[in-house]
Amino acid sequence: MKYRRNVKKLFHISLMVVIIFAISIPYFNPQPAAATEDNHSGGFVIESEKVDGYLELLGALMGKVKIFEADIHGLTMTKVLNNAETPIVIKIESEGPVHVKNLETETIDGLPPHLGGLCVPSKVGGLCLKDVSMTVPYQTVDEITLPNATVKTCYGNECGSIPETPSMTTEEAKKMLEGIEEEPPSSLEELNEKLQENLEQFNTIKNLTDEAEKLFDQINQGNQIESIKQIIQSVDGLDSVSDLSDLDSDLKNKIESLNSEYTSFDNTTSKLFNNMEKASSNLEELKESISKNKETLAKLEEQDSNKENELKEQSKIYQELQQKMSDANEEQNENSEEQKQNSEQKNEGKVPAFEEASTRDKKPDIENLTQKWNTLEEEIKPVEERLKKVTAAVEEIGLKKTKEDLSQQMDDTIKSLEQLIKKLGLARKEKEENSKEEDGQKKDQTDNNSKEEEENTDSPDESEKGNQDSAPSDGSNNDGNDESSQKDDTDNNQKDSSNEDTTNNDNTDGGQEDGSNNEGTNDDSQEDSNSEEPNEDDSSDDTGDEEESQEEDSGGLLDGLIDILFPWRR
Taking the C-alpha atoms of residue 437 and residue 547, their distance in angstroms, rounded to an integer, is: 13
| 94/307 Cα distance (integer angstroms) | 33
Contact 518, 461 (CB under 8 A): yes
Q: How far apart are CA 327 and CA 33, in angstroms?
A: 63
Contact (Cβ atoms closer than 8 angstroms) between residue 130 and residue 115: yes
Which DSSP category does 312 fall into? H
Residues sharing a CB contact under 8 Å with residue 247, sequence separation 6 or more, in sequence order = 238, 241, 424
> Which residue type does 465 have?
K
Question: DSSP secondary-structure letter at 114?
Answer: B
CB 37 within 8 A of CB 54: no
Nearest 5°: phi and psi at 88? -100, 130
Coil vs helix vs strand at 132: strand
Q: Amino acid letter at 563?
A: D
Q: Which of 384, 389, 221, 185 is nearest to 295 (CA)?
A: 185
Residue 115 near residue 176, CB atoms below 8 Å = yes
- Spatial CB neighbours of 290, under 8 Å, sequence gap ≥ 6: 198, 373, 376, 377
Q: How far apart are CA 9 and CA 32, in angstroms?
A: 36
Angle between helices 399-476 and 362-396 in degrees, nearest 10:
50
| Residue 489: predicted pLDDT | 47
Beta carbons within 8 Å of 83's beta carbon, 6+ residues apart: none
Helices (H) and strands (E) counted in the chain, each on its own, are 12, 10
* Tens-digit pLDDT profile for residues 230-278: 767 666 665 555 555 555 556 666 667 667 777 777 788 888 889 888 9
The residues, any chain, with a CB within 8 Å of residue 181's CB and separated by 6 or more, are 57
DSSP lists the bridge partners of residue 140 as 104
Q: What local confidence, expressed as pLDDT, does residue 114 receive?
A: 80
DSSP one-letter code for 91: E
DSSP, collapsed to helix, strand or coil, labels residue 364 as helix
| CA within 13 Å, CB half, 531 | 6
Interacting residues of 372 by C-beta distance below 8 A, sequence separation 6+: 195
Pick left, alpha or beta for residue 143 (phi over 0 → left; psi -120 to 50 → alpha; otherwise beta): beta
Which residues share a beta bridge with 88? 81, 155
Taking CA atoms, 345 is separated from 3, 128, 333, 352, in Å, by 86, 46, 18, 11
CA distance 259 to 253: 10
173: CB partners within 8 A, 6+ apart: 60, 61, 112, 115
- Whether the CB-CB separation of 152 and 93 falls below 8 Å is answered with yes
Full 3-state SS string of 414-437: HHHHHHHHHHHHHHHHHHHHHHHH
Q: What is the pLDDT of residue 323?
A: 58
CA angle 514, 518, 524 (to 5 degrees): 150
Distance, CA of 205 to CA of 275 (rounded, Å):
9
Nearest to 205 by CA among 145, 310, 284: 284
Q: Diameter of the chain by CA atoms?
A: 206
- What lies within 8 Å, CB to CB, of 142 at 6+ separation is 30, 101, 102, 103
Every domain of the chain and the residues it spans? 2-181, 193-393
Spatial distance between the Cα atoms of 237 and 227, rounded to a whole number of angstroms = 15
> What crossing angle do the helices spanning 188-222 and 224-237 adopt, rounded to 10°?
40
Q: What pLDDT score was predicted for residue 415? A: 66
CA angle 557–560–565, rounded 5-degree value: 120
Could you list the pLDDT tens digit for every one of the 570 residues in the chain? Answer: 444 444 444 444 544 544 544 444 444 444 443 344 445 567 888 888 999 988 887 777 778 888 899 999 998 888 888 766 777 888 888 888 889 899 888 888 888 788 777 787 887 777 888 888 888 888 888 888 888 888 888 877 777 666 655 555 556 555 545 544 444 445 777 888 888 899 999 999 999 999 988 888 887 776 767 777 776 766 666 555 555 555 555 666 666 766 777 777 778 888 888 988 899 999 999 988 888 888 888 877 776 666 655 555 555 554 554 555 555 556 556 555 555 555 454 444 444 443 444 444 455 577 888 888 889 889 999 999 998 998 888 888 778 787 777 777 776 776 666 666 666 655 555 556 666 666 666 766 777 777 777 766 655 554 444 444 444 444 444 444 444 444 444 444 444 444 444 434 444 344 444 444 444 444 444 444 444 444 444 444 444 444 444 444 444 555 555 555 555 544
User: Which tens digits make up the pLDDT trace of 284-307?
Assistant: 999 888 888 888 888 777 766 666
Report residue 117: phi and psi, to 5°: 160, -170
Alpha-carbon gap, residue 259 to 228, rounded angstroms: 9
User: Is residue 414 within 8 Å of 422, Cβ to Cβ?
Assistant: no
